[in-house]
Amino acid sequence: MSDIDCINDRIRDIKEKHSLKHSDISDITGYSVSSIKKWMMDEEHQFFQKAPVQALRLLDNWISLQDRTGVEESDVEDQCLAEIWSFLNFKGGVGKTTVAFNICLMLSKKKKVLVIDGDPQGHLSSSLIKDPIDMKFTTSDLVMGRSGKPYQLSENLHVIGTNNSLANTCEAIPASDLLFLIKENLLEYKSKYDYIIIDSLPSKGALYDSIMAASNKIIVPFTPDLYDSWGLQDVYQQVKKLKMRKINDKVKVAALIPNRVEKPLRNFDRDVINIVKKTFPNEICPTFISNSVRLRECKSPAIAMSIVDYAPNENVSKEYEAVLEYIINS
């Protein structure tokens, strides 16, 4: 049997054994559906194409990941109490960190919360940890699997902050390894908290994927901007790939939150939000978060209060309460 037969036949066997469609193999390997169809043809067919060794390696890796993640999750699922929420949008300037900041503080009024700054810019860390000297255990330490205690902001809210070492740490780790590190290294914390909140970086890459791989719920704040709303589909595609590759079967997009919305609602903003509603009717939050100067004030290190404590009578406080309830019930 030729090398061509070995590779192509092996891929055919995997496709049949695991009931994969051409599109599934495309998601796993990154090769186009049209190329995969040619791999499935007989060698004598005029359009037959030899499958690359890399495609077979990726499929074999996918099979091994099924075994790896299946054992990992089944062994610890019963003792893992925390639900992991990640706030992300690979487009910056949508107010993602502000939403994560307020939600973690609001949750901590009644629940035990661990918040992790997964953005190398460290804006969330700056709001919650006034003196960098107090940051003894960082997100870089978490990624590297080091032991340490998160910063205790209050009895119910602990913080793993970040600094400029995070980007360098992640660059030094192969992407295939980094993908699992946050998920694996959070296992010891999941039994200690009710919620783990992660503020993700606003760009796609290995760290972004690792945060998604560790999450139960993905929360995506977005502004009523066409370019911003178009990018929402990419989040869904990444979630689909994580499930397809058996990296995280439980992750889901839980909420799309219209943020920094001008009131009264402008016609253009209404049109954009309606497009998102039509495209993602099950995930879009019915409550919009207003663009308010109070949100910038409450997040400043000198104040560091949730909007519901800082300005309880403002409309934006009521909006945040409704948004939190929506996420919890999603």
CATH at residue 140:
3.40.50.300
Q: Is 7 exposed, middle or buried (0-12, 13-18, 19+ CB in 10 A)?
A: middle
CATH number of the domain bearing residue 18: 1.10.260
pLDDT bracket for residue 149 (50, 70, 90): very high
Higher pLDDT, 132 or 186: 186
Question: What pLDDT was estimated at residue 73?
Answer: 47
Long-range own/partner contacts, residues 32-40 (CB < 8 A, 24 or more apart): 39/8, 39/11, 39/12, 40/8, 40/11, 40/12, 40/15
Does residue 325 sit in the same domain as residue 184? yes
Note the pLDDT tens digit of each residue in 163-197: 889 999 999 998 888 988 999 999 999 999 999 99
Question: Which uninterrupted H or E stretch holds 84?
Answer: strand 83-87
Does residue 146 sit in the same domain as residue 128? yes
Q: Which residues contact 227 (CB under 8 A, 6 or more apart)?
A: 91
Question: What pLDDT was estimated at residue 283?
Answer: 96
pLDDT bracket for residue 219 (50, 70, 90): very high
SS3 301: coil
Other CB atoms within 10 Å distance of the CB of residue 305: 15
Does residue 256 sit in the same domain as residue 185? yes
pLDDT above 80: residue 66: no
Which residue is it, tokens 């990444």? 238
- What domain range is 148 assigned to? 80-329
pLDDT above 50: residue 223: yes
Does residue 174 sit in the same domain as residue 310? yes
Q: Is 118 exposed, middle or buried (0-12, 13-18, 19+ CB in 10 A)?
A: buried
Q: Residues 183, 214: contact at Cβ < 8 Å?
A: yes
Considering its fold, how many domains does the chain have in total? 2
Does residue 50 sit in the same domain as residue 126? no
Does residue 122 sit in the same domain as residue 40? no
Note the pLDDT tens digit of each residue in 14-42: 998 988 988 888 888 878 888 899 999 98
Burial annotation 220-233 (CB, 10 A radius, 16+ → b, else e): bbbbbbeebbebbe
Question: What pLDDT was estimated at residue 71?
Answer: 45
Q: Which residues contact 71 (CB under 8 A, 6 or more apart)?
A: none
Could you tell me which residues are beta bridge partners of residue 217?
Answer: 85, 252
List the 151-152 sheet strands across, edge first.
Answer: 151-152, 157-160, 113-118, 195-200, 83-87, 217-222, 252-258
